[in-house]
Amino acid sequence: MRRNWLIVGPALILVVAIAVVGSVILISLRNPAPSPEPSTATAPTSAVTTTGLAAQRERMVIDTIERRGITDQDVLQAMRTVPRHLFVPEADEARAYGDYPMPIGFGQTISQPYIVALMTRLLNLQPGDKVLEIGTGSGYQAAVLAEIPGVEVYTIEVIPELAERARAQLASLGHTHVHCRQDDGYYGWPEQAPFDAIIVTAAPDHVPQPLIDQLAVDGTMVIPVGPPGGYQTLWRFVKDADGELKAYNEGGVAFVPFTGEGIRQPSGEALVP
Ligand SMILES: C[S@@+](CC[C@H](N)C(=O)[O-])C[C@H]1O[C@@H](n2cnc3c(N)ncnc32)[C@H](O)[C@@H]1O
């Protein structure tokens, strides 16, 4: 009997101990600890998300930009730095680093990252340059331009709501040296001319004469020209000392139409075929 108790005793104690621990675990599963305040709960999640988005941005640069032949370190660094996901609607953040344009509201788009990098590269920006962008849209291209060392950016958007939103977003990211204006960009920004570089991110069917006039000697203009709603040619123009433009065909693109009153004026000479 005593021998049996020696065997059964410890076994009984073990069973009781397991039962007690098990019920404690069950109780705590049924009554989970109160959730932390939302502010503390979201902090680690958003930190993880931000890290994920930074990794996506790095992949975007390697896979869709460097791999297609853009090697300019200033341009690559700018594309690495600007948080593209903050320039698209919140619901689309997770797709912001894909190799495509995306809607930003009002029938407009933020351009494909590769096209943003290509156009920035084609401008051949140097420290001290003044660059004018027509078509602020989300403000993303302006932010990329602003990341090129020593460059001052002027940008014009025709749609008031987009102009205001981009202005606020650029300011919130600390881009105080980006000058924003809501207007018809057909007429450029004469008070600030001449510009060393002009980039147009909507497609007119001809090159606006005021933009030609506001381009500095040796300056570069990058502009898609072609039928609205179709495919256009991306042109790079360089102004020589006589004020003549040399034209370089940089390939086929598809941009949203250039709108506003100015483009509907009868145009002068056709600069490109
Ligand atoms: C492809 S989106 C630009 C994308 C923009 N660069 C970005 O990074 O989001 C073209 C923009 O050009 C604007 N636009 C079209 N015609 C314009 C004009 N005459 N003057 C200024 N902006 C114009 C459109 O409203 C649109 O926001």
CATH class of 49-264: alpha beta
Q: Does residue 213 carry a pLDDT above 90?
A: yes
Which of 136, 141, 170, 214 for a ligand 1 pocket mutation test, highest count of atoms within 8 Å of Cβ? 136
% of the chain beyond a pLDDT of 70: 80
Provide the residue ranges of all domains of the chain, joining segments of one domain with +.
49-264
Total-model pTM: 0.83
Q: How far is the CA of 99 from the centre of ligand 1 (A)?
A: 19
* Measured distance CA(273)–CA(266) in Å, rounded: 17
pLDDT at residue 117 in the model: 98
Q: How far is the CA of 122 from the centre of ligand 1 (A)?
A: 19
* Measured distance CA(100)–CA(210) in Å, rounded: 31
73-77, 88-92, 254-258, 269-273: the lowest-pLDDT one: 269-273
- The predicted model gives 23-39 an average pLDDT of 31
Q: Which residues line ligand 1 (CB under 6 A)?
A: 108-111, 134-135, 137-138, 140-141, 156-159, 162, 184-186, 201-202, 255-256, 258-260
pLDDT in tens, 41-70: 233 345 447 789 999 999 999 999 999 999
User: Residue 267 catalytic?
Assistant: no
* Measured distance CA(168)–CA(146) in Å, rounded: 15
Nearest to 115 by CA among 231, 225, 236, 253: 253
Q: Does residue 188 carry a pLDDT above 50?
A: yes
Spatial neighbors of 49 by CB under 8 A, at least 6 apart, are: none
Length, in residues, of the chain = 273
Nearest to 209 by CA among 261, 131, 268, 123: 268
Nearest to 130 by CA among 151, 145, 102: 151
Q: Which residue has the higher pLDDT, 14 or 24?
A: 14
* Measured distance CA(84)–CA(88) in Å, rounded: 7
Cβ(222)–Cβ(204) below 8 Å: no
Longest Cα–Cα distance of the chain, Å, equals 117
The per-residue pLDDT of the chain, averaged, comes to 85
37-46, 58-67, 109-118, 164-173: the lowest-pLDDT one: 37-46
Q: What is the 3-state secondary structure (H, E, C) of the chain?
A: CHHHHHHHHHHHHHHHHHHHHHHHHHHHHHCCCCCCCHHHHHHHHHHHHHHHHHHHHHHHHHHHHHHHCCCCHHHHHHHHHCCHHHHCCHHHHHHCCCCCCEEEECCEEECCHHHHHHHHHHCCCCCCCEEEEECCCCCHHHHHHHCCCCCEEEEEECCHHHHHHHHHHHHHCCCCCEEEEECCHHHCCHHHCCEEEEEECCECCCCCHHHHHCEEEEEEEEEEECCCCCCEEEEEEEECCCCCEEEEEEEEECCCECCCCHHHCCCCCCCCC
Read off the pLDDT band of 267 (50, 70, 90).
low
Strand 232-239 and strand 215-225: the pairing is antiparallel
